[in-house]
Copies of this chain bind each other. A is one copy, B any other.
Amino acid sequence: MASFPGRHTRHLLGLEGMTPDQIEPLLDLAESYALLNRSRKVPRDVLRGRTLINLFFEDSTRTRTSFELAGKRLGADVINMSVAQSSVNKGETLLDTAATLNAMRTDLLVVRHSQSGAPALLARKVEASVVNAGDGMHEHPTQALLDALTIRRHHGTLGGLKVAICGDVAHSRVARSNIHLLTTMGSSVRLVGPPTLVPGNLGQLGVDIHHSMEDGLRDVDVVMMLRLQRERMSSGLIPSAREYFRFFGLDRRRLDLAHKNALVMHPGPMNRGVEIDSSVADSDQSVIQEQVEMGVAVRMAVLDRLTRSRQTP
């Protein structure tokens, strides 16, 4: 499943198995794109004449927009295909969709799908480079990369940090990609949440498990909150939003248990008052907006790298 950005791979399907010398240059490239975005000086020929298709089987304006912007700024022809409009509704199989996009001479295929492994399946059938934009409960690699870049900008390194990932870890591809990346880069990761959302078997991933925020946040350098899907309540995994916030919401008092320079992160969109309190979401320690900014930069770096790696085989 490891896949990027080694010389012999052309997809970004997940971060599991990637090495620090693959990750660091990618973050460096993204950092340079962040500066170019600020100065509106992005070179428009990086992806000129290339076709990027955003193939989203799950709705996500935020991630889709981020990839769309990344592609357009680099000069690609960008096409959005959402499942609601697509032939999938007419009963077409995923592999037939892949064959169709392939025949259209797609260069970059960004895929979000509710089933783990769908992007990898597509990757085997297309000549395009496939970027996993989130698949089931598997991975969301560009999210973890943008998180890493944001952390590195503030702490100067990813090595030796203590990072708490809090909330619905069990169902989170964001958490999974972050665990792979952060442990690979030498950080120690703690998962924090109720046993229904942070079961003990996640310890196999080389992380510590905490079922209390008070324990889990102590002395950490980064507090990464996850979005609580509202369907977790209807399915009985948590009692109510109010109860959840009382025990596992991030507020000022709990944040003060962390290192005084600890970063507050959230992949968005936030449920204010459910998993996070506005007093910390909007505080000086919050880097939530910077995560969004780095998201565009990271995606530009990924699209650039995947394209260049194919031009010089």
Contact = CB atoms under 8 A, between A and B. Distances in A.
A65 B81 contact: yes
Interface residues of A, number: 53
Contact of A269 (B91, B103, B288): B91
Contacts of A269: 87, 90-92, 96, 100
Name the residue among A42, A72, A100 with the largest chain B CB count within 10 angstroms. Answer: A100
Given A272-B93, A289-B99, A104 B69 contact: yes
A270 B86 CA distance: 13
A58 to B, nearest CB: 11
B42 A49 contact: yes
Interface stretch (A20-28, A33-41, A181-189): A33-41
Interface string A29-65: 0000000011011101000111101000001011001
6 contacts: A51-B73, A61-B85, A62-B87, A87-B269, A99-B289, A104-B295
Interface of A: 37-38, 40-42, 44, 48-51, 53, 59, 61-62, 65-66, 68-69, 72-73, 77, 79, 81-82, 85-87, 90-93, 96, 99-100, 102-105, 107, 230, 268-272, 288-293, 295-296
